[in-house]
Chains A and B, each alone.
Chain A
Amino acid sequence: MSGTPATAPPLRLVGVSVSYGARTALRKIDLSVRSGEFVALAGPNGSGKTTLLRTVLGFVTPSAGRVELFGDALESLSILERARRVAWLPQEESPRDDVRLIDYVLYGRYAFHGLLEGDSEEDYRLGHSILEQVGLADRADDGLLSISGGERQRAVLARALAQTTPLLLLDEPTSHLDIGHQLDLLARVRDLAHRRGVTVVAALHDLNLAARFADRIVVLSRGRCVADGPPAEILSEGLLAQVWGVVADLRREPRTGMPYLIAHHLTTAPRGPGSGTGFGPVHVVGGGGAAAPYLRTFADDGYSLSVGALHLLDTDAEVAEALLIRGPIEAPFAPLGPEVRERHRALLAAARAIVVAPFVVGPSNLANLEDLRPYVRTTPSFLVSRPSITERDFTGGRATQVYQQLREAGAREVTGMEEIVRELRALSSGPPTPSA
C-alpha cells in the first residue's frame, strides 16, 4: 500500500482510535516501529497498552485510523497471513492440558501446515532449536503442566517463536514472573531483536525493566501517546508524576548507564485507615531532619500536609520537597526573614492541627517556635517532648522559655510517633474543628 514489504515498517499505526461503547480506549495513536527495534509500551493500568496490542492482532477493530503490518493494511490480511507476520505472547496463558513441550511448541506451526500435513522432521528440528533458544532444550519431553511458572512462560514464548514471524508482540510477559525470570525472559527477547532482527513490541508495566531492555519507550496515558523515545530521553520525574501520579526519583544505574526510578508514593496519597476524609492540613514544624519521619508517616496516612519554615538544603526541606509538601524555604543558615515568616504564619493559620517535631533550636530558627504562640490557642497542637527541649536548646534558654509558653497556651506534649499518630486519628475522625 504505502510501500513495499521490504522497506515498509513492520508495524505502523496511523491515527488509530478504539472505543468500547462510550469509553475511548485509544485516541489517535500514531506509531511506526522500525525493523529489529525493541519497543516497550508503558503506561498505567487502563492506559490502552493491551488494547493497542489487541488492535494490531486484529482482535479489536479500530473506530478510526489504520493499522499496517509490513506495509499492508491489517484488514486486507487473512487470519492465516497475520499469523505468519505477527506472533503474540499473552500476559498469561494458562494451559490446561499436560502436552509435551515439543508438541506444544509445534502448535505454533499451525499457519504453515496444509490440511492433512503432519508435523515434519523439519518442524521437530525447528521446535527443538527454539526450545534450546529459550533454554528448555532438555525439557522437550516434559509435560507443560509439570514445569515451573517461569519455564512455562518461556515455553509460551517458544510457541510464539515457532510462528517464525518477523514481528513479536508481548503483553506484560513478565507480570507473573519472579525478578530472575523477568530479567532472563526480557534478555532473551532483546537478543531476538538485536541478533535476529525480530521486531518486538512489548507492553511492560515495570518501567525499570522497560528502560533497561527496550530501545524505545512509548508512554500511553488514557489512550493517548504522551511520550515516545529512547528511555534516557523520555523518562523524567515529571512524566512519572503526570502519567502515573507517582513521586519518584530518577537515578542513573552506574553500570548500565540506564535511568531507573525509585517510586516513593502517590502524588495524591490514598488516605490511610482511621484518618478522616480530607483532614488537614496538618502543619509540621521542624528542621535538621527532625520532621522527616513525621512527614513520611503523615503522608502515608493520607493527611494533607504543610511544613514550617525550613532552610534550603536542610534534610527536612528535601523530604518535604520529595513528598510535594508546601512550605516556606529560607536561604541556608540565614535567620528566617520576614517574608518567610509571613508565609509560615499563613500556613499556621490554615492548619487544622500543628505538630512540633523535636528539632534543634538555634538563633536562625527560633522564630519558628515564637511564631507558633498565637495559633496553639485555637488549633490543636502537639509538642513532641523527646528528646527534651533543654537538650536541643542552643539559644541559651530562650527556646525552652518559648516552649513553656506554648504548653501554657494549650499545646499538648506527646512522647513520639505512636502517640501523635493516635492523636491525629482521633482528631480527624472526631467532629470537625473550626480552623482559626
Chain B
Amino acid sequence: MEERAPPAVGEATPSGAMRLRRSSPWALLGAIVAIVAVAVALSSLLGTVFIPPLTTLRLLFGLPNACAGTSVSPDLCTRWGEIIWQARLPEIVLAVIAGAALGISGATLQGTFRNPLADPFLLGISSGGTIGAAIVFDFHVGQVAPDLFLPLFAFIGAIATGVAILAVAVSRYGTVETLLLTGVALASLLSAVLALLLLYNPSGSQQVSYWLLGSLGNASWPVDGIALGVLLITGTLLSLFGRELNLMQLGGDVARSAGVDVRRVRIRLILLASLTTGVAVAFTGIIGFVGLVSPHVVRRIAGTDYRYVLPGSALVGAVFLLGARDFALLVYPTSLLPIGIFTAFFGAPFFIYLLFRRRVGSPMGSL
C-alpha cells in the first residue's frame, strides 16, 4: 500500500495536449516528389523568351511536330526547342539540385549542431566558397578555362572551411558549442577577408557581388551532371544518418550511451554537408535562406524525425529554389536577376511567420 501510491497519471495530461497523428511521412515525401515534378513542368513554361505553354509542353515531352497547327515557322520551332532543352531545362534542373543540396545541408547542420539557426551561411561554409570565387575574379586565376576554375575554387573554398571546422571537431574542444561558435567566427573572418579582396581589386567587385547573390546562369547539362553526381552520393549518405541525428538531438552523451559514436558521426556529417554545400555554391554562388528554411518547413509538415527531415529538406529546398526562380521570371521576365534576392525576399518573411506560428511552449528546436 505504501509503495504504490500511484501518481495521478491520468490527470497529468494538459487539456491541450496534442496527440501526434500517425501520418505516414513517406506518403508526405511522395507528395513532395510529385510537387517537384509538377513544379519542374510548370517552370519550363517560364523564361526570358515567351513560348506558348502548349508548345512548350509538347517540346518538353519531345512530341513530333510540336509547332504543327500554329503559325510558327519550323526554324523558330527548332530554336524554341533548343531554348527549352539547352537553356531552361538545365537551369531548372540546376535549381532543383542546388535547392536540394542546400536543403539537406541545412537539415544536417541544424541537426549536427542542435541549433535551429545553423545553415551553411552561419557556419561560413558558403563564405569560404565566395573567397574561392573572389580569388578567381580578382587575380584572374585560370583565365584559360573560367568555367572550370570558378566552380573549382569555390568548391575548394567551401570544403576548406568545412575542414577548418572539422579540425575543431576532432580536437578535445569539440563540443557542439565550440563547433558552432568556431563556424560563426570563421564566417566573420571570411567576410573580412572578402572585403579586403574587394578593396584590393575593385574591378572584380561587381562580379563578386553578383556571385554573392546567387544565380542559375551558369547552368548547362555538364554542370548539372557533375552537380547531380555529387549530390546523389552525398545526399544518399546523409540520408542514412537519420537515427544518429535523432539521438544526437537528446544530447551528445545520451546519443553516445545509446551507441552513437558522436564524434565520428559529427565529422562525417560536417564533411558531407560541406561537400554538398560546396557543389551548390560552386555552380550557383550564394543562395540564402534555402538551407535555413527548408528543414523547418519539413518539421512542420512531417514531424521532427530526421529520417524524414533529411530527404524531406532536400525536396522542399528544390521546390523552394525553383519557385524563387519562377517568381523572378514572372515579375521581371527579361532580366536575369540574382535568384538569391528572391529566396531571401520570400524566405525571410516566411521564416518569421513560422517562428510566430509555432505552437506555444514548443521550443525552437521543433519550430
Contact = CB atoms under 8 A, between A and B. Distances in A.
Q: How large is the interface on B (under 10, 10 to 19, 20 to 34, 35 or more residues)?
A: 35 or more
Contacts of B243: 107, 110, 113
Contacts of B258: 83, 87, 107-108, 110-111, 159, 163
A57 interface: yes
A159 B7 CA distance: 20
B254 A142 contact: no
B245 to A, nearest CB: 11
A116 to B, nearest CB: 7
Interface in A230-276: 255-256
Given A59-B256, A83-B259, A145 B246 contact: no
B240 A79 contact: no
Given A96-B363, A97-B304, A98-B366, A111 B259 contact: yes
Interface in B340-367: 359, 361-366
A335 interface: no
B304 A98 contact: yes
Given A83-B259, A151-B9, A255-B2, A115 B18 contact: no
Q: How large is the interface on A (under 10, 10 to 19, 20 to 34, 35 or more residues)?
A: 35 or more
Contacts of A159: 258
Nearest to B14: A146
Contacts of B303: 98-99
B12 A95 contact: no
Contacts of B256: 57-59, 79
A54 B253 CA distance: 9
A326 B343 CA distance: 78
A58 B114 CA distance: 22
A97 B365 contact: yes
Given A83-B257, A151-B9, A183-B3, A100 B20 contact: yes
B9 A135 contact: yes
A93 interface: yes
A256 B254 CA distance: 35
B6 interface: yes
A143 interface: yes
A77 to B, nearest CB: 11
A359 interface: no
B256 to A, nearest CB: 6
Contact of A141 (B20, B247, B305): B20
Nearest to B8: A180
Given A95-B249, A141-B20, A180 B260 contact: no
Contact of A142 (B7, B17, B247, B359): B17
Contacts of B366: 96-98, 145
B13 interface: yes
A334 interface: no
A84 interface: yes
Given A93-B251, A150-B12, A98 B257 contact: no
Contacts of B260: 79, 110
B46 to A, nearest CB: 38
B217 to A, nearest CB: 39
A403 B243 CA distance: 82
B240 to A, nearest CB: 6
Nearest to A144: B20
Interface in A68-108: 79-80, 82-84, 86-88, 90, 93, 95-100, 103, 107-108
Contact of A150 (B5, B7, B254, B259): B7
Contacts of B364: 96
A143 B18 contact: yes
Interface string B227-255: 00000000000001001101101110110
Contacts of A88: 253-254, 257
Nearest to B261: A79
Contact of A84 (B12, B259, B361): B259
A147 interface: yes
Nearest to B243: A110
Interface in A132-148: 135-136, 139, 141-143, 145-148
Given A98-B20, A187-B4, 8 more contacts: A93-B250, A96-B114, A96-B364, A97-B304, A107-B247, A107-B258, A135-B9, A148-B12
25 contacts: A57-B257, A58-B256, A80-B261, A82-B259, A83-B257, A87-B257, A87-B258, A88-B254, A93-B250, A96-B249, A98-B18, A107-B258, A110-B243, A110-B258, A111-B258, A113-B243, A116-B240, A135-B6, A143-B20, A145-B362, A146-B13, A146-B14, A148-B12, A151-B9, A183-B3
Q: Which 10 A-B pairs have the closest CB atoms?
A: A83-B259, A96-B365, A111-B259, A97-B304, A148-B12, A146-B17, A88-B257, A180-B7, A97-B366, A80-B259
